[in-house]
Every structure is written in C-alpha cells, then in structure tokens.
Amino acid sequence: MEAIILAGGFGTRLRPFTFTRAKSLLPIINEPMIAHLIKTLPKKVDTVILAVNYRREQIEEYFCKHDFGKTIIVNEEPEPLGTGGAVKFADKHIVGSFFVLNADIICSLNLAEMLRFHEKKKAVATISLWPVENVSEFGVVDIRKDGTITKFVEKPKAEDAPSDLINAGAYLLEPQVLNYIEPGKLISMEKQIFPQIIQNTGRFFGYKFQGHWMDVGRISSYISVHKLLLEKQKKTFITGDQCTIQGILRQSCAGNRVSVGKNTTVESSVLFDEVTIGENVTLDHCVIGEHVSIGDGSVLRNVAVGDNERVQDGTVLDNVVVWNQPIPQGYPSKQIGNVIGE
C-alpha cells in the first residue's frame, strides 16, 4: 500500500527557518517533522511517495541517510501543483487504496484504524476529522450519523455551522479519485476535487479521532507542538547530544551541541543544533535557528532568529523575525495556498 506525503510547500509562515530548509525537515523534539509522520504509518504501507518541490535535495539527502523500513520514492513536481496536482503527479506509483498526508500535521490519528473504517464503509474517500471550538475560522463538514460527508461549509458563523469538525489533513482514497484530477495543473484537492467526489459517488466519509492534533504551520504552533509533546513525555525540557547547559530551560527543547550560559533562562523556546546563548540572557517564546549566537544580557521575547544569525550583547527584541541574509531566489513573498483553511 502507498502513502503520498505532501511536502512540497514553501512553508512561508515558518520563515525565516524555511528560507534555508524544507518545512518537513524542521526539527520537532529534535527529529524532523516528516519522521514523526512516517513513524505513524501502518505496517501495510510499504511505499512512501514524497510529493516534493522546494528543497527537494535536502529531503532526498535525509532519506538517503535514514532508513524507515519502507520504500521511499521522491517524486519531484516540475513546479508546485497544489495538493490535487501533486497527488495526480504521483499516480504512476499508485496500485490500490492510498493515503495522502500533509507533512505538517502532528496528531494522534491511528491510520490503521482509519483504514479499517474506510474498508468497512466501502468508501471512495475518507478524510480524518478533528473538532474545533472556533468554527468560523475553518471549513467544517456537514456529516450524517453514518459518517457520510454531504458538503463542506467554509468559515460558517457558529450558529450556522453544521458541525464543529474540520478536515484534519489525512486522506484515504481509492484510485478512481485520480480520474477526477486533470494532470499538470495547479489543483486543490480540498476545494476542487473533494466536492466532486461527494456529489458523484456519495461515498465520501469522515473519520473522527480523539487525542491531539496540531497543524504546525506557524511559529506559534511550532512552539506549541513542542510544549504539547514535552507534556506528553512528562518532561520540562529536552536536550540533544553534547550540550552544555548552565542556565535554566523550561518547556523548551535544545538540539545537539547547544550551549546556554550562566543565569540564562530559556522559556517555551526551541533551540536548533549548534546554538550558543550567552550569560544573563532571557529567551521567551523564541525559536533560534542553527549556528546562531545570542550575546550576553540579551532579552528576546516572541522572536524567530534565522540560521547563522548573530545577536549582539545586550540586544532587546520583541515580536520580530531576525534575518539579515538574502532571501532565496524564487521564494514567494506571501503564502501561496492554504490547505486546512485557517
């Protein structure tokens, strides 16, 4: 069985970290986001098709060095084709029912159970569903008791919402879905293809699950997912190999070869590999990129510091992105699409 992982987006909302790396390789608790996802795949999935474009070579290199016991196919789109276009572009590798998974979702969805549900319902398509409180910010589903989805309603007022369930970014599809997608075009699975499947087959189902779900699309959710996973592991902080920590880390995660000086407090923050933080520093809700140094006495709150940046002693920053290097050619100035519909 195959799983297509959508990992071709630019991840513009996670810049500056996506200026230098594929979003799916961003570390979460010191392991790339995409590794967390691959570990949740059922045994039955023996082939993973990576639908990639931006920073393809980094993803390829990662999978050359790390074995997950599955065949990995790197399927590079000539240009980003959207979620539908990327799935169609992978059709030569599909032989039966297949998963389509967003690379940027961290959740407790049990894909093997979702597969059993899909088979029992003889569904053409099954999508995972997650309940939210703020329906007016999302597309929600209209769903019958038996799990059939009859339509999507975009950003309804709370009183008009047919449910509180949103598309949670994991799909299980039959190959016939591929017939609905025109090849070589920028196509949204969610907006253009799913409504046709609902209308033409009546076998479009929703699979609700419980536990946790997080769309790791922004710096704030990137920090939140670390807090969530630390809590689940009952830890207040995590450090990688060869770290020298003289200060205090709270609800934070540090990569390999990180040093944190005396009287420094790191709170609700993520430090990538090879970060050096001086003495008497305060970091609160910050993400600090690889090879960054933060000078003594600095105070940073809600700050994202891109790879290889230097922050001078005594710097005070609030709610900014630090990036003083050129932006990579072709990197979009704003978000191209939005699958989950925040």
Residues with catalytic annotation?
A: 155
Q: Which residues share a beta bridge with 131?
A: 165
Task: Check binding of 6 to ligand GTP (CB under 6 A).
Answer: yes
Q: What residue number has its CB nearest to ligand GTP? A: 9
Span near ligand GTP by CB under 6 A; candidates 9-17, 134-142, 143-151, 323-331: 9-17
Tally Cβ neighbours within 10 Å of residue 199: 11
Task: Check binding of 217 to ligand GTP (CB under 6 A).
Answer: yes
Task: Check binding of 21 to ligand GTP (CB under 6 A).
Answer: no
Our CB check for ligand GTP shows the closer of 87 and 275 to be: 87
The structure tokens listed for 293 are 């140094």
Question: How many helices (H) and strands (E) in the chain?
Answer: 7, 29
N-terminal to C-terminal alpha carbon distance within the chain: 31
Q: How far is the CB of 331 from ligand GTP (least distance, A)?
A: 10
Is residue 89 within 8 A of residue 49, CB to CB? The reply is no
Our CB check for ligand GTP shows the closer of 274 and 307 to be: 307
In the sheet that holds 270-271, the strands lie side by side as 237-239, 252-254, 270-271, 287-288, 304-305, 321-322
Our CB check for ligand GTP shows the closer of 56 and 208 to be: 56
Task: Check binding of 190 to ligand GTP (CB under 6 A).
Answer: no
Span near ligand GTP by CB under 6 A; candidates 82-90, 132-140, 244-252, 313-321: 82-90
What is the total count of residues that contact ligand GTP (CB under 6 A)? 27
For residue 270, give Cα distances in angstroms to 24, 30, 115: 16, 9, 35
- Which residues between 263 and 322 bind ligand GTP (CB under 6 A)? none
Indicate the SS3 state at residue 234.
coil
Q: Binding ligand GTP by CB under 6 A: which of 233, 242, 244, 338? A: 338
Write the binding mask 86 to 125 for ligand GTP: x where contact by CB under 6 A, - elsewhere. x---------------xxx---------------------
Is residue 81 within 8 A of residue 89, CB to CB? The reply is yes
Interior CA angle at 31 toward 235 and 218, to 5°? Answer: 85
Instruction: Catalog residues that contact ligand GTP under the rule CB under 6 A.
Output: 6-13, 23, 51-53, 77, 80-83, 86, 102-104, 217, 335-339
